[in-house]
Structure 1
Amino acid sequence: PNDPADDPIESLCKEKNISLFRGNTFDLLDRHYKAGLKFNAVAIVKIPSDCPLIDPDIISKTISYYLDNSDKFDYVSNLHPQSYPDGNDVEIMSMKVLKKAWEKAYRDLEREHTTPYFWENPDQFKIGNVKWETGYDYSMAYRWTIDYYEDYLFIKEVYDELYNQNPLFGINDILNLLSLKPELIKINEKYAGVNWYRNHLTELKTISAEQTKQV
């Protein structure tokens, strides 16, 4: 975003010769769409920056599902319904439908969170979903994203335990670690299930109270 606090990220990208786009801090729909235009994208893969434990294999699986079914779906995610532990969020949409959302979405929550216009209007878009192949639903049981200090402490412990032996550790490595050291779960378990839905339950048509938790 165009926040001076993010200038160091731009400097790092330039140092590493990584292309970037900066835009509106709070209108992420605008930022995603204009980034797509700048780089002549055909589709956009949305990965939250607050999910540092996301498994690359989950990203690849979701992308593959979208590519294999691009004639069937406008928007594919692993969130509707969600089954993976919170912090493995992947969403993919074509630039064509992203443009439609950019033109028509007007609610603050639609602009800030980029994709609600799709999954809130299933009559207008073809929605696809990737479920965890295990059949488990850990979406409300584990929290691997970062909003609170306790989240940072949890994520730091996971990296300290796993990164040196396997920098490419994934979901199964984390679950194995938590089975061996269940005390790590307690670090941020009071926030498990807490997400942005909780502030908009009266506005969201496709989200129920069971899909979120108050702090």
Structure 2
Amino acid sequence: MDQALDKTVIVVQARMSSSRLPGKVLLPILGETLLYRMIERLQMISHQATLVIATSTDGQDDAIEAEALRIGVPCYRGSLDNCLDRHYQAGKKYDAGIVIKIPSDCPLIDPRIIDEALDFYFEHQGEYDFVSNLHPATFPDGNDVEIMTMPCLEKTWKEATRPLELEHTTPYIWENPGQFKIANVTWSTGLDYSMSHRFTIDYPADYQFINRVFEELYPAKHNFSCDDILTLLSSKPEIYQINADYAGVNWYRNHLDELKTVGAQNTKSLTKQ
């Protein structure tokens, strides 16, 4: 098989202009930036992949490019608001056969969960255009993995027009199951913690939570797992409580009138500002 068809590119979208927590990807975690810690975890996967940090051409994001250079990871710069275009252009530039979308707000992502999704994709290679663990989601929020073939991403790039499709990259795919062959990987435990456990960052409380988890687990085990985090939260429930008010809060809540495959059961309204 042509090696280009197999080439895996992980695209991490990152920008400084977060409305709720500006500059969150460069916040410090144990002497390094949050983005560094996330890239460190992505580099722990067992599959071979090219990592690319995709940021915008906005001047604020010069800092993202500088950090990518410091870390030693390629950086693609494109549209500020059209993340779908940025994603597609990054995949194209680095000759991707398949592209993996991993949001930059997932610094606690378990590399084993990425491997699990990739294992499934390669075991069924040629059968699916899009494999994710989000439709429906079962893992704790912040373990988001979306795998798509380059032809799938290109079709999406050509056809998607709604603002939410451009901003969030993949909704056109999972909102149009008749046009794509789609599969979902669920948590082998049979549990669903997607609405109860929050390992992602969007608010100051999330940063406090993530920083505390790293402080507790990283010194003894750099490649700590999702299970390790859950064990920690069971033994120290006060850590879970740090950002518990935001569990289940995600971008879906603002687009329920536009989404066909996502409902109110997949999101929560904000109860704490």
Tell me, yes or no, whether TM beats 0.5.
yes
* CA distance in 2 between partners of 1:16 and 1:154 (Å): 24
Once the two structures are superposed, residues 164-206 of structure 1 have per-residue CA deviations (whole angstroms, 9 ceiling, x without a partner) of: 1111111011001001001111111111000000000000000
1:171 aligned to which of 217, 220, 226: 226
1:93 aligned to 2:185? Answer: no
Partner of 1:30: 85
| SS across alignment from 1:71 | coil
What is the identity, as a one-letter code, of the residue corresponding to 1:32?
A: H
Name the Cα RMSD after superposition: 1.0
Partner of 1:69: 124
Identity of aligned residues (%): 56
- Is there any run of 5+ residues in structure 2 with no aligned partner, and where? 1-55
* CA distance in 2 between partners of 1:128 and 1:17 (Å): 33
* CA distance in 2 between partners of 1:207 and 1:15 (Å): 39
* CA distance in 2 between partners of 1:7 and 1:179 (Å): 40
Partner of 1:157: 212
Higher mean C-alpha deviation, range 24-33 or range 6-15:
6-15
* CA distance in 2 between partners of 1:13 and 1:193 (Å): 30
Partner of 2:256: 201
Partner of 2:115: 60
How far is the alpha carbon of 1:6 from its aligned partner? Answer: 2.2
* CA distance in 2 between partners of 1:32 and 1:174 (Å): 30
How far is the alpha carbon of 1:16 from its aligned partner? Answer: 4.3
Query: What TM-score do you get using the length of structure 1 for normalisation?
Result: 0.97
- Number of aligned residue pairs: 215
* CA distance in 2 between partners of 1:13 and 1:144 (Å): 23
Distance 1:118 1:164, change over 3 A: same
* CA distance in 2 between partners of 1:13 and 1:3 (Å): 15
What is the identity, as a one-letter code, of the residue corresponding to 2:204?
A: Y
What is the identity, as a one-letter code, of the residue corresponding to 2:59?
A: P
Partner of 1:123: 178
Query: What TM-score do you get using the length of structure 2 for normalisation?
Result: 0.77
* CA distance in 1 between partners of 2:175 and 2:238 (Å): 38
How far is the alpha carbon of 1:143 from its aligned partner? Answer: 0.6
2:166 aligned to which of 102, 108, 111: 111
* CA distance in 1 between partners of 2:127 and 2:70 (Å): 40
How far is the alpha carbon of 1:12 from its aligned partner? Answer: 2.9
- Is there any run of 5+ residues in structure 1 with no aligned partner, and where? none
